[in-house]
Amino acid sequence: MKNKFWLSATVLFLFPLAVFCQTKWKTTSSEVVFKIKNAGFTVTGRFGGFNGQLAFSPDKLQSSSLKGSVQVGTIKTGIDKRDADLKEEKYFNEGKYKTISIKSTKLYKKGNQYAGLFNVTIKGVTKQMEIPFTFTQHGKEAEFKGSLTISRKQFGIGGPTLTMSDEANVSIVVKATE
């Protein structure tokens, strides 16, 4: 009788842990790329210094969470002068805001891929945005791939201008292992 009690108690204690336990993914590589039109040309740039906390299981979306940030100071567009300008107060203000971050508040299936509501924080301004993404797993390796369009004006990036587009397209690719 004692053994049945302990077995039942152990199962009742461990069951919730098994149900809510997420696969924690460790980033092995990342790419955060943006594109924006300026003076009729498409400017492409990237951010480095990705730091992510990825707890994700496709069958446990309600308890999954995705969080990531990049370092503003790592911005690269291929032109050093432009990179320096983008770090200044008018654009990303690296002196005051060191990182750009996203954090999921809700993840769900959307068609044949996934999506989530994410708090996107740039220059101290946080906006909730839907970000669709794919998740591909091969054994203990996985890839998260998503994209979003941000309005630079909503985040106070760049001020009024006739030559720069209001919208920037951002793509994020993160490769990870269990």
Secondary structure (3-state) at 156: coil
Residue 3 has pLDDT above 90, yes or no: no
Confidence band of 159 (pLDDT split at 50, 70, 90): confident
pLDDT digits (tens, 9 = 90+) for 133-151: 999 999 999 999 999 999 9
Residue 46 has pLDDT above 80, yes or no: yes
| AA identity, residue 165 | S
Confidence band of 93 (pLDDT split at 50, 70, 90): very high
pLDDT digits (tens, 9 = 90+) for 14-43: 444 444 567 999 999 999 999 999 999 999
Candidates 63, 66, 132, 130; CA nearest to 101 is 66
Contact in structure between 110 and 78 (CB atoms under 8 Å): no
User: Torsion angle of alpha carbons 138, 71, 131, 141, nearest 10°?
Assistant: 0
| Rounded (5°) CA angle 18-135-19 | 10
Residue 91 has pLDDT above 90, yes or no: yes
Backbone phi, psi, residue 149, to 5°: -115, 125
Determine the pLDDT at residue 2: 52
98 vs 69: CA distance, rounded Å: 10
Taken in order 13, 15, 16, 22, is the CA torsion positive or negative?
A: positive
